Amino acid sequence: MEEKLAIEGGTPVRQGALPSVGDISGRNLGEQEIANLTEVIKSGNLFRYGGRFVVGLETEFARLLGIQHAVACTSGTAAIHLAVAGVNPSPGDEIITSPITDMGTISPIIMQNAIPVFADLDPETFNLDPASVAECITERTKAIIVVHLMGGPADMDALLALARPRGIKVIEDCCQAYLAEDRGRLVGTIGDVGCFSLQQSKHMTAGDGGIVVTNDEALAGRMRLFADKGWARGGEVRDYLHLGINYRMNELTGAVAYAQVGKVESVVARRRQRAEQMTRLLAAQAPGVNPPAVRPGGKHSYWQYPITIDEGRLGVGSADFCQAINAEGVPAGVGYIGRPIYLSAALRTAPTYGDSRCPFDCPRASRRVQYQESDCPHTVEILRRIIIIPWNENYSEQEVADLAAAIGKVARHYAARGAGQ
């Protein structure tokens, strides 16, 4: 006998809260972070220079990724800004990126007086479609910012094949993708520079903070200077070599992040283990439900667990399906950011530097960029259909089984209803 859906008055599959990144139930914070913070407070030096934790974080994070240089900063947004400043675009240059991302990926482009250009996404992986990127490249393209969305790796070889012959720099936004892999290579180590976030919800957290990594010594040097107001420390006189800003990480943030470096491999491993369990259960219990797609040769790190449904098979739209699984105890949301990032007021009306509309109306720009919803049709459809299930390393086997059972209950209900029509 078919179970009555909770949204129609039936009994929910599960009740009660899941481990959450918003509190200690879903965060891997403990005695080591406390000990490190205590050491900093007792030392009296909260500044990165003269302390050991920020420099230790940079050393250990570079070692974790097998890369030469790491620069700590104040946020994932700051990390992207360091990378964009490091590749040093001229006013009016263009940087291609993803239309599904946080504004922290986009603001640094505009703040360096470059123009964001949005390529469409692969409808399965939700990452940049190399064919669309190719169509966006012009003689003013300075860089590509690749967002490894939700922890799924993008097709780096295809993107590098477009970028390298043209001298275009490739920046990897790995803020959601710690230790994700593309063909055996860790994301963040494949392009010219990788950017990571330590914000509250990320695989590693210090509440906020960021890290950039690179094997390019000159690029690393430029990013370090930019994060410290362009200050060339150690000279006989104080000198500022180029425009920069204060993005220095302090020792308190560094103390927490330093402890987190030793935990992130375990965090990612547990997220993968629970995600693999979820995928198996959905395949067995939830007709018409598609788990996160991972390209051949890729390894997902599951910042979130995004699903889509076969609306034709189930006879229901994604928004209604999401409401039904919410009622069963699954704290999912539909649409992620709701609409492509280029439809944000900051990009459509371009309120940037006073009334100048720079860089969008920059005299040095080679073309006028005007964003329209239709620019990226796959993206619009992805955002209409995508259902995001919050994911966490502290989920138990039973909690994942409950989530899968709830989704399966709803999927079977709609599949049976559709078959009976």
Q: What is the pLDDT of residues 117-176, one digit of tens each?
A: 999 999 999 999 999 999 999 999 999 999 999 999 999 999 999 999 999 999 999 999
Per the structure, the count of domains in the chain is 2
pLDDT score for 235: 76
347 in a structural domain: no
pLDDT score for 124: 95
- The pair of structure tokens assigned to 377 is 């049709």
d(CA 45, CA 181): 38
The full DSSP string for 104-132 is HHHHHHHHTT-EEEE--B-TTT-SB-HHH
346 in a structural domain: no
pLDDT higher than threshold 70 for residue 420: no
- CB-facing half-sphere around the CA of 199: CA atoms within 13 A: 16
d(CA 292, CA 302): 9
Residue 81 belongs to domain with CATH number: 3.40.640.10
d(CA 402, CA 29): 26
Q: What is the pLDDT of residues 250-286, one digit of tens each?
A: 999 999 999 999 999 999 999 999 999 999 999 999 9
For residues 295-323, one letter each, b for 16 or more C-beta atoms within 10 angstroms of the residue's C-beta and e for the rest, the string is beebbbbbbbbbbbbbbeebbbebeebbe
Angle between helices 397-420 and 318-327 (to 10 degrees): 130
Q: What is the mean pLDDT of residues 206-225?
A: 97
Q: Which residue has the tokens 């690029």?
A: 219
pLDDT higher than threshold 70 for residue 316: yes
Q: Which residue has the tokens 């407070």?
A: 41
Considering only residues 104 and 3, tell me which one the structure prediction assigns the higher pLDDT.
104
* Confidence tier at 418 by pLDDT (50, 70, 90): low
* Confidence tier at 306 by pLDDT (50, 70, 90): very high
Contact 410, 321 (CB under 8 A): yes
Residue 397 belongs to domain with CATH number: 3.90.1150.10
Q: How many residues are recorded in the chain?
A: 421
Cα 316 from chain centroid?
Answer: 29
pLDDT higher than threshold 90 for residue 351: no
Q: Do 43 and 187 belong together in one domain? A: yes
Q: Which amino acid is at 40?
A: V
69 in a structural domain: yes
pLDDT score for 61: 98
3-state secondary structure of 337: coil
138 in a structural domain: yes
Domain boundaries, position 298: 6-26+265-336+381-420
Q: Do 122 and 223 belong together in one domain? A: yes
43 in a structural domain: yes
State pTM to two decimals: 0.95
Q: Do 246 and 281 belong together in one domain? A: no
Q: Do 12 and 37 belong together in one domain? A: no
Q: Do 19 and 39 belong together in one domain? A: no
Indicate the residue among 247, 263, 279 that finishes a domain.
263
Q: What is the pLDDT of residues 176-200, one digit of tens each?
A: 999 999 999 999 999 999 999 999 9
Indicate the residue among 263, 283, 304 that finishes a domain.
263
Q: Do 171 and 88 belong together in one domain? A: yes
Q: What is the pLDDT of residues 4-29, one digit of tens each?
A: 999 999 999 999 999 999 999 999 99
Cis (ω within 30 of 0) for the bond into 359? yes
